[in-house]
Amino acid sequence: MHPATLCIHAGHRASADQRAVVAPVVHSTTFLLDDEAYAAMTSGRSSEALIYTRIRNPTLDVVQERIAALEGADRSLLFASGMAAIHAGLMASLRSGSRVVAHREIYGSTWDLLSNLLAPLGIVAEFVDLNDDDSRRAALSRGADVVYLETITNPSLDVPALPRIAADARAAGAQVLVDATFATPLLQRPLSLGADLSIHSATKYMGGHSDLIGGCVSGGAAVMARVYRWMQLAGGCMDPHAAFLLDRGLKTLPLRMECHQRNALHLARRLERHPRVEAVLYPGLASHRAHERARRTLSGFGGMLSIVVRGGDEAALRMVRRLKLALEASSLGGVETLVSLPYNTSHTRMTAAERLAAGIPPGLVRISVGVEDVRDLEADFVAALDGA
């Protein structure tokens, strides 16, 4: 079936014995032990046993099955946050002495995890421009267990050439982990382009209403068995109430994405003409460096865009503080328009030079374009820029 149908129906159907049209929310942490549960536990099939919510929960089952259908995966698992999902995906693929080759433009907390938290465990991360054939191949020739990238990068909106990168990574014996948060499973299915794991912060578009924290990892059966062990024993499982909110959010993901994208393209074109804007970064603009790669690998350009305000971070902050409708807040992918400055939010742990290398020049404002009437958004941004 098509993605819009899967978003509503995959994972749960009202049936004669289970008459609820909406999947029931099961808050119970524990379940009756019976012979079947004991048999599953003692034969090493604990992931199949309905005995305890950190191990398995019926509400999570519904959403996991839906995401697996959308991703074209053998299995999907839900996590307490996007970072918990990224952590589990990495830990399932790494060991002491491993090397990670990551795209140099990635979300600040992932950069922090790879650069600072995993280093004492003997895991080395190298950040390169994965689009550059020479840099990529040179980095891979030094050895790699994992190649890590984002489908659409936060916040520079680069679109790495996944099929080419994945082919080289496989040849070098590395697993390919893709954070597909900005693209959602609707704009790209990374597993079909060579990724081993597709990871999302479900906090963003998949939830869609800025009211849940969650993450998910999808992939083939063998690697997901290892991811499951990390979920179960590191304990980063999703709460059933968050799974219920995600179940609800996913049903309208196609509708929301259509509007996010339409609004983002409109705003990108309008702001590109504003004299106070040095550059607009949006993969849907012909002027964007990743436009051709985006056209080849995505079925849409997404709802995120960044603008570079003339005058640097202070001028950008002045502009942001003049906005009346868009809210200054971190996070993204909700129905409301949010703006943030990476230098004081998502990428604050980087130095200015590290930010520049990650595609973040001074004055960059990240905009998560919501689903409001685009005429109101346009008026808000133009007035804020005019007055800044």
Chain positions contacting ligand PLP, by CB under 6 A: 81-83, 107, 109, 150, 154, 179, 181, 201, 203, 213, 215, 331
Q: What angle do CA 62, 297, 111 make, to 5 degrees?
A: 75
Q: Which C-beta is closer to ligand PLP: that of 84 or that of 265?
A: 84
> Cα–Cα distance between 308 and 119 in angstroms, integer?
33
54 is catalytic: yes
Nearer to ligand PLP, 57 or 81 (CB): 81
Instruction: Please identify which of the residues 54, 229, 295, 310 carries the catalytic annotation.
Output: 54
Q: Which of 44, 72, 76 is nearest to 62 (CA)?
A: 76
Give the separation between CA 334 and CA 317, rounded to whole angstroms.
22
Tokens of 187: 């704009």
The answer to whether 343 is a known catalytic residue is no
Query: Which of 204, 203, 202, 200 minimizes the C-alpha distance to 189?
Result: 200
Min dist CB 342 to ligand PLP, Å, is 10
Return d(Cα 184, Cα 169) in angstroms, integer: 23
Active site residue 137: no
Q: What does the chain come to in residues?
A: 388
Parallel/antiparallel/unpaired status of strands 338-340 and 364-368: antiparallel
User: Using only C-alpha atoms, what is the Rg of the chain?
Assistant: 21
Q: Which of 191, 374 has the CB closer to ligand PLP?
A: 191
Pick the closer one to ligand PLP by CB: 109 or 210. Answer: 109
**Closest C-alpha among 376, 344, 374 to residue 155:** 344
User: What are the Cα distances from residue 164, in Å, to 21, 149, 180, 196?
Assistant: 43, 13, 17, 14
Nearer to ligand PLP, 303 or 385 (CB): 303
Q: Catalytic residue at 107?
A: yes
Gap between the Cα atoms of 206 and 254, Å rounded: 10
Query: What distance in Å separates the CA atoms of residue 71 and residue 305, rounded to the nearest whole number?
Result: 24
| Nearer to ligand PLP (CB atom), residue 179 or residue 239 | 179
The one catalytic residue among 136, 204, 276, 366: 204
Which residue sits closest to ligand PLP, CB atoms considered? 82
109: tokens are 């907390």
Q: Quote the least distance from Cβ 81 to ligand PLP, whole Å.
A: 3
Catalytic residue among 56, 66, 99, 107: 107
Q: How far is the CB of 28 from ligand PLP (least distance, A)?
A: 25
Closest CB 30 distance from ligand PLP, rounded Å: 27
Catalytic residue among 145, 158, 168, 179: 179
Q: How far is the CB of 109 from ligand PLP (least distance, A)?
A: 6
Known catalytic residues are 54, 107, 179, 204
